Structure 1
Amino acid sequence: MSGWRKWTLILLGASAALLVPWMAVLAVTLPGTARVHHWSLAWIGLDVLLATGCAATALLGLRGDARARLTASATASVAVLDAWLDITTAHSGPALLQALACAVAEGVVAGVCAGVALSEGHRRTECR
């Protein structure tokens, strides 16, 4: 393992360890509710990111480009984040049921994308 890679991984591990006490601070200090400006823009932006990731993964995958695995990985993460935020920000009752239904659909997208990301990915070679 190269020195650069080793130190990058050590830094990531240290970041994970430092986030644990930070999460405890947030759990104790964040308010239970908040007024959010540009709420609709935040949600639309997340869906634009998810749609763009799906489209990029599809286009790259259909071209046989191995980079589809990278976009699939990122898109799976966005889908899981979208599902998490759908559920955790929904009011109880019908809104929560709708959020759960959306989360199931986003879970399917995340699963498909994870499958693409973990696939062997055949790189197409071209003669010039």
Structure 2
Amino acid sequence: MVSVEELRELPTEERAELLRALIALGDEDPLELPRYRRRRGLVLVFLVACCAWLIPWTVVLGLTLPQHYTSGQWSAAWIGFDAALTAAFAFTAFAVWRRLQMAILGQLVTGTLLVCDAWFDVMLSWGSGEFPVSVATALLGELPLAVLFFMGARTLVLTTVRALWVREGRTGPVPRLREVRLFAVEERPGSVGGGG
């Protein structure tokens, strides 16, 4: 068995190589396990089926929905949506405060809700006196905030990858985000370079 003192005496490159070798010994890709491989296949089939269903469904809605519609639950829908948006902001703030990886999910959800809020505000006020205010609110408030949340999520993912890259003792450029596999920091074999 090698002592800590002997490890400290090794050159940095050798320590890094040893670290990578030790990680590789116990580094199994969970998605290669038979039960997860089967689940992954089912998830992919389900997602493709959802896309195949939603495309014609969207066309049917475009052709059949009425031009004008009166809703009895209008205020409940908007209050519920704004409550969900508030909860997403609060969850994201908590996750960032606690330095949790869940901050990435919180930012993605909050950004998505902000885009939805802008879309529905603008579309549902179309042709009314509230339309200019809805457009201004979307362009100056909701959409820029959404972009900030999406960029924040991307930054956290990239920072996590960089930290793992360095902690594994790797040198050279960090792989781009689109080249990083689930459960591994290494690039995909034969991946093409490009923007992260």
TM range (shorter): 0.7 to 0.9
- 1:108 is aligned, of 144, 147, 172, to 144
Look up the equivalent residue of 1:82 and give its one-letter code.
D
Matched, 1:50 2:85: yes
Contact 1:68-1:116 at 8 Å conserved across structures: no
Look up the equivalent residue of 1:42 and give its one-letter code.
A
Distance in 2 between the 1:103 and 1:77 partners? 13
In the TM superposition, residue 32 of structure 1 has moved relative to its aligned partner by 0.5
Q: Deviations over 1:66-87 (max 9, x none)?
A: 1111111111111111111001
Secondary structure (helix, strand or coil) at the match of 1:86 reads helix
Structure 2 portions without partners, runs of 5+: 1-30, 32-36, 161-196
In the TM superposition, residue 114 of structure 1 has moved relative to its aligned partner by 0.9
Look up the equivalent residue of 1:103 and give its one-letter code.
A
Q: Based on CA coordinates, which of the two structures has the bigger radius of gyration?
A: 2
Structure 1 portions without partners, runs of 5+: 123-128
Distance in 2 between the 1:40 and 1:94 partners? 19
Match of 1:9 in 2: 44
Match of 2:191 in 1: none
Distance in 1 between the 2:57 and 2:119 partners? 20
Distance in 1 between the 2:51 and 2:132 partners? 33
Match of 1:81 in 2: 116
Match of 2:76 in 1: 41
RMSD over equivalenced CA pairs, Å: 1.6
Task: Name segments (4+ residues, structure 1) moved above 2 Å.
Answer: 91-94, 119-122
Please state which structure has a larger fraction of its residues in helix.
Answer: 1
The number of aligned residues is: 122
Indicate how the Cα distance of structure 1 residues 91 and 24 shifts in structure 2: closer, same or farther if over 3 A, else same: closer
In the TM superposition, residue 91 of structure 1 has moved relative to its aligned partner by 3.9
Match of 2:127 in 1: 92
- 1:27 is aligned, of 46, 58, 62, to 62
Q: Of the two structures, which has the highest relative contact order with CA contacts closer than 8 Å and spacing of 6 or more?
A: 1
Q: TM-score, normalised by structure 1?
A: 0.86
Distance in 1 between the 2:72 and 2:129 partners? 24
Secondary structure (helix, strand or coil) at the match of 2:68 reads coil
